[in-house]
Amino acid sequence: MPIIQVNILAGRSPELKAELAAKITETVSQTLQAKPETIRVLLQEYAEGEWFVGGKAMPVAKPPGS
């Protein structure tokens, strides 16, 4: 059973996260020849002040089109 963990900044809509999980599932299924129902996708979101790059906090994700 493949388990895929994805770490992202908070701020994305439930619909966008569901689309991401669906596309990851499809890709893993095709690549590993695994049935989609055996694939787990775990999303871990990080709030502003919990993700740093180069020692600087990254802002939360902005919704598409903003």
Task: Give the residue numbers annotated as catalytic, written as ranges.
Answer: 2
Contact 5, 45 (CB under 8 A): no
Please name every residue paired with 5 in a beta bridge, in sequence order, or none if there are none: 42
Contact 46, 9 (CB under 8 A): yes
